[in-house]
Amino acid sequence: MDLQLTVPCAVVSTQPTRPILKHIGDSRQSVVCDVSGGVPTIIYWGAALNAASIANLDAIAVATARPNMPGVTDAINAISLVPCHGDGATMRPGIGGHRPGGRHWAPRFSFVSCEVVGQQLISISRDDVAQLELETKLECSAWGTLHATATLRNVGESRYLLTNLSITLPVVESATQLLTFSGRWAREAQLYRRDFVDGAWTAENRTGRTSHEHLPLIFATERTADEWNGQVWGAHLAWSGNSVLLAEVLPDGRKYLQLGELLHAGELCLEPGESYATPEVIGVWSGNGLNAATQALHRNVRSRPHHPTVVQPRKVMLNTWEAVYFDHDLSRLCALADAAANVGVERFVLDDGWFGSRRNDKSGLGDWFVSPDVYPNGLAPLISHVRKLGMDFGIWVEPEMVNPDSDLFRAHPEWVLAASGYEPVLARNQLVLNLAHPDAYAHIYSQLDALLAENDIAYVKWDMNRAHVHATGSDGAAGTHNQTRAVYQLIDELRVAHPNVEIESCASGGGRIDHEILRRTERVWTSDCNDALERQIIQRSTSMLVPLEVMGAHIGPPTAHTTGRRQSLSFRGATAMFGHMGVEWNLLSLRDDQQIQLRRIIGLYKQHRELLHSGDFVRYDVTSDNSAVAHGVISTDKRTALLSYAQLSTAQGLVPSPWKIHGLLSDVEYTVAYVPLGDSREHASFTMTGDQLGRIGIQPPMLFPESAVLIYLENQ
């Protein structure tokens, strides 16, 4: 017996719709979109088109039209900003979800409207069957970035369970290399290059933060592209929670990058009238290699109204963590502050151990009041001492966490972000506090607000020291999305109440580094590893996402606490120079000669920090075996530069190859001078033109492994 189920449906037309092309862009880049389909499709993203090309966009549509292929659907499935399986896309859909009973699991959107406002393309699409509305926004910024978001609205009468909404950006088939960033605690942002010629690469992050494991940044490049040459397409997911990144080569040769929030089962349910907006995806294109692409990302961060260098130079800080850990003693801390001021430190940051019962990492989180046992007179005596020395005072907090051994947990165990009926999974002896719970949120806000109101605190180091595991909200559903939004809201509200307080984003080091957290913070802690050898690599890769002035870089002790390596002060200082410099070292243990050298290094940083934090950061490829790295900052007018050459390990060749210093004005003469870091090396200065420096280069000195030199170039 044959059974038939008849369902009315709309048939996908096999006749191509006449393209409707829109252009956005400026002198840096052009983007051409076809908005005639259900969702806008980028058909060109690259170098800026001239006026004649923009006036004749139809020619682009004709020239780039793809034929139907045998063995596939008659409908030509475009790589739209949000590809839909209902349109015939067999790639990973940009949207996933369903209504009760599994209905409407593959939406098919139709064009409703679009408009270009300035350099922003806003498009509305609708699926009348599934009763969903999709708004996409695509904008070319003045600083060379492409910003994309999508918002899904439930315009039906039943709930819609959303499982995925991601942004998809096409890249050209000649982009045959993929650059991705993976890592772990104390070894973040390791750069990996791989062929991008077939199949798919994906990275999924379920840690509840941006993560150490997968920096949400990906580049597709031409095979010959390097730091200075070739075409580069990149994308960053500006989001501090769970994420999924995908790069795929389709069977027909087309390629794309897809980025979005990773949603757990049942995590996001849209009731009638509700909507969900994706995190922003920030794209970059460059025809001049990776340096130009990453400089656009730097300009995006620097465009913020509250960018720290707009207010004041980046102050050198001392963080007490590796100096005292939990062993807080007022007299010792005051002596440490004296030693810090003596070498030129401008900000004193008191790390973990000042509050509640926090004498170790087993108790106290959640009790954000000054410990009467350690500080019987409060923080005022220490803060007063620090301020009299001319330094700012900063403090460490971890508002998203709670220890089971705490007053807060004993009073409100129901405020934990965990599933009822299960034993919660501990990490570092702590649990995640559910900030999406209104009462928990209000309690933490009131404690932090009082802390900042009652004390002269200029800086907050905001930490987050564990991943989400089985993170479940009060309603029993997965809670990471709501928790991430609540963290943003908490920081935002504290900033409104205390606008002059700087905030650092830390998550066991570099576990929360992204452009969205930087909308509301002034700094990221790059890594818990202060080993200068590891930091050379970590900071080099992190510089591909954020500028130096927001990237915390500390001079640690001679023997690194995370690796046991012993390194010279000159190497540690040269490494910390290219970031927001700090010190994380028990300065009470310094010899006189170490004090003198550290004071000199800090003085050099202060001398050059305006250049370091306003110029263009560049990286150089100087060896084929990665035994040495070079990088630096060139002023925007290209008249001055401060550069570093670091020998990481022994090289295959005995003598280093010439270092070709690109990025300068070719017809200008520069004085090239080595910058003394307090070691015994002496080098004579010399003069070369920018053309000579870029084409011929200079001979780097022979260096021992784990050592570095700085050079300063100036047009007299």
The 3-class secondary structure across 464-487, one letter per residue, is CCCCCCCCECCCCCECHHHHHHHH
Q: Contact 233/257 with Cβ under 8 angstroms?
A: yes
pLDDT for position 391: 99
Q: Contact 35/111 with Cβ under 8 angstroms?
A: yes
Q: Residue 435: CB partners within 8 Å, gap ≥ 6?
A: 399, 400, 441, 444, 483, 486, 487, 490
* Strands 392-397 and 347-350, sheet pairing: parallel
Q: For residues 553 and 530, what is the distance between their CA atoms, to the nearest angstrom?
A: 8
Task: Please give the structure tokens belonging to residue 546.
Answer: 């954020």
pLDDT for position 253: 94
pLDDT tens digits along 191-233: 999 999 999 999 999 999 999 999 999 999 999 999 999 999 9
Q: Contact 116/250 with Cβ under 8 angstroms?
A: no
Q: For residues 263 and 14, what is the distance between their CA atoms, to the nearest angstrom?
A: 34
Q: For residues 232 and 226, what is the distance between their CA atoms, to the nearest angstrom?
A: 9
Kindly report the number of other CB atoms within 10 A of residue 679's CB atom: 15
Q: Give the amino acid at 485.
A: R
Phi/psi of residue 175, nearest 5 degrees: -80, 90
Q: Is 34 helix (H, G, I), strand (E, B) or coil?
A: strand
**Catalytic hit among 87, 367, 463, 616:** 463
Task: Please give the structure tokens belonging to residue 54.
Answer: 């923009």
Q: Is 365 helix (H, G, I), strand (E, B) or coil?
A: coil
Angle at 105 between CA 100 and CA 109, to 5 degrees: 125
pLDDT for position 64: 85
Active site residue 463: yes
Residues linked to residue 170 through DSSP beta bridges, in sequence order: 256
Phi/psi of residue 521, nearest 5 degrees: -135, 165
Angle at 571 between CA 568 and CA 574, to 5 degrees: 145
The number of residues in the chain equals: 716
C-alpha distances (whole Å) from 145 to each of 279, 303, 711 are: 15, 11, 31
DSSP state of 8: -
DSSP state of 550: G
Task: Please give the structure tokens belonging to residue 10.
Answer: 């709309």
In this prediction the pTM is 0.96
pLDDT for position 120: 98
C-alpha distances (whole Å) from 409 to each of 350, 414, 427, 433, 440 are: 24, 8, 15, 9, 11
Q: For residues 202 and 464, what is the distance between their CA atoms, to the nearest angstrom?
A: 25
Q: Which domains does the chain have, with CATH numbers?
A: 21-302 (2.70.98.60), 308-608 (3.20.20.70), 617-714 (2.60.40.1180)
Phi/psi of residue 227, nearest 5 degrees: -65, -25
The distance of Cα 22 from the centroid of its chain, to the nearest Å, equals: 30
Q: For residues 478 and 162, what is the distance between their CA atoms, to the nearest angstrom?
A: 13
pLDDT for position 656: 95
Active site residue 528: yes
Q: Is 377 exposed, middle or buried (0-12, 13-18, 19+ CB in 10 A)?
A: exposed
Q: For residues 508 and 565, what is the distance between their CA atoms, to the nearest angstrom?
A: 20
pLDDT for position 311: 84
Q: Quick one: which H or E segment has residue 52?
A: helix 51-55
* Strands 686-689 and 669-675, sheet pairing: antiparallel
Q: Give the amino acid at 267.
A: E
* Strands 707-714 and 187-195, sheet pairing: unpaired
Q: For residues 202 and 130, what is the distance between their CA atoms, to the nearest angstrom?
A: 29
Q: For residues 306 and 145, what is the distance between their CA atoms, to the nearest angstrom?
A: 19
* Strands 459-462 and 502-505, sheet pairing: parallel
Q: Rounded to 5, what percent of the chain is helix, strand, coil?
A: 25, 30, 45
Residues linked to residue 110 through DSSP beta bridges, in sequence order: 126
**Which residues in the chain land under pLDDT 70?**
1-17, 71, 74-76, 679-681
pLDDT for position 70: 75
Q: Is 629 helix (H, G, I), strand (E, B) or coil?
A: strand
Q: For residues 607 and 640, what is the distance between their CA atoms, to the nearest angstrom?
A: 13
pLDDT tens digits along 172-197: 999 999 999 999 999 999 999 999 99
DSSP state of 579: S
Q: Is 219 helix (H, G, I), strand (E, B) or coil?
A: strand
Q: What is the largest CA-CA distance in the chain?
A: 96
pLDDT for position 78: 86
